[in-house]
Structure 1
Amino acid sequence: MKFIKNHFHLLNADAVSLGNSWNFINVISPYYRLYYIEDGTGYINSPAGRTTLTAGNLFLIPSFTLCDLHCDGYLSQYFVQFFEESPDGISLFGHCREILSVPASGIDIDNFKRLLEINPGRGINRSDNPKVYEKDVYYKEYTKLNELQTASKQFETQGIILQLLSRFMKSERFGISNQEVIPSAVLAAISYIQINIAKPLKVSQLASDANLNTDYFSRIFHRYAGKSPVNFILEKRIERAQYLIITTNIQYGEIAKLTGFENQQYFSRIFRKITGLSPKEYRNQNLGY
């Protein structure tokens, strides 16, 4: 039997009415966004195309999904934003970085309302612009509220988020790439990579730690993680760099060190290869320059 090991931490939740000021480009966040559209119309542009936000539907934007958010007239929505924590480093939606939608049920709507009821004051009070509220100090402010919750509300909040996410795992566009139990050697390697992302990481050493031949280790890692160990390491380094660029003012050279790159030039080259932008261009776009 497969058990869900991923844990989700609430960031924001609220019901809002939006107008044409809800118009942001090149948004890419280290957390999930989940909307229930109550009334009006908006749209989300992503590399996969345009998704129209229509009343009576749920929409999910997985973490690290590049998109534009737009409303030309009026949009009434419930929303919840949350971080994902995975012990094996594999996101539930790691193979599905696209906008997903399903029709909302009565239970879904009740879940949104209940989530707001047990988590008051979790709206985005400063601005509805991601480039304003996506700062580390704001994250710390809201995550501190999670620590102040009672145990019962923590469990209920987690349960509601899992219920809402389960609706998208039934979507025809979502598929779990591998139902097999991930070998302990792969899980241990992924965990080590996540914890030691700032340190030098060699595939040969990961294989040695697992008491496996390097080629064999690389094959089984690719089978269960969906990519080679080298590409997995680079992806995790760049995801961490994206988070630091969005949420801090740390200089690029220091970010390169914090994410395990040998030098800033190599970091910039890999960052552009994966995101299509240089670190400076990425920061400028997220600051609205």
Structure 2
Amino acid sequence: MMSLPLVAHKTARKLFAHLHFLQTMSHANKMNAENLASVWAPTIMPTAVTSQTLQTAWSIKEHQVVRDLILNYEAVWEPTEAELRREAAIRRVLVRVLSNTATMAPKAAGDLRAWIYVHDRNTCFQVSLTPNKTSSDVCIELCEKANLESHLLMLEEVICDGSMRRAVHIDEIVLDVVLRWGYWDEKDRKDNYLVVKENKILHDLEALRSTTSACSELRIANETTKAFKLHMFEFKQGKLCYYKDKQGSHKIEEWDIKNILWYIGHEPKRNPQSQWTITFIPKNDKPKR
């Protein structure tokens, strides 16, 4: 070890000092020399051999070498008195912290707090998002701020720099909405927000309550295609499906509307050449948008 170049020598000395200290606290961290060697040996002593038999033999030996260097750190590196005193002081602090932690009752994590706008982006209020708080609960909480009865309000999710928006269902957990953004790319989530506003969509849909099915031609593009293609769509009994032909004899795909997040609008990169668009994202597909 002493024949190593200066930088490698000092790096190895520092690393094994840390690993040796960790194994002296194995009663608390469960990382004895054997466990530490299993983790660190492949990184410290990688092999270039390609034979499976030789790799297995090397792995056994590298584990033994790294384990012995951890256990015999003081004999190999001969730490100074100052280093030993510093290590002992750190150990005393850790022991005190661990003993205090063991006697303390666990504390409940605080609720996530989020800013929610009212009517527009000029006014916002901080709301505590508990694991059970629904969109309806948020509307009730902010109805006085909005100067409207709660049943006349809706919570709207606005994403992708304002290009897409949707009404959050009254029974939907708002915390799930906010946490979902965390899986999206930075450019997709950086300007997302929630807003409580008058529910005009509810009144617009009132005339369609008696409609049990709808069928029409629409243009569709998915995440793998750029161009929009014309297909026959049908909405019936909570299902949305589209067909290869106008007669509806060959179904291409079908979705349960309960498993879809519906947004009015489209991504800026899309060019549907239409006055109105709908974008939907499957809830249970993959976390990334």
* Range into which the TM-score falls when normalised by the shorter chain: under 0.3
Looking at both structures, which has the greater relative contact order when contacts are Cα pairs under 8 Å and sequence separation is at least 6? Answer: 1
Q: Report the TM-score, using the length of structure 2 for normalisation.
A: 0.20
Which structure has the bigger radius of gyration?
Answer: 2
Q: Report the TM-score, using the length of structure 1 for normalisation.
A: 0.20
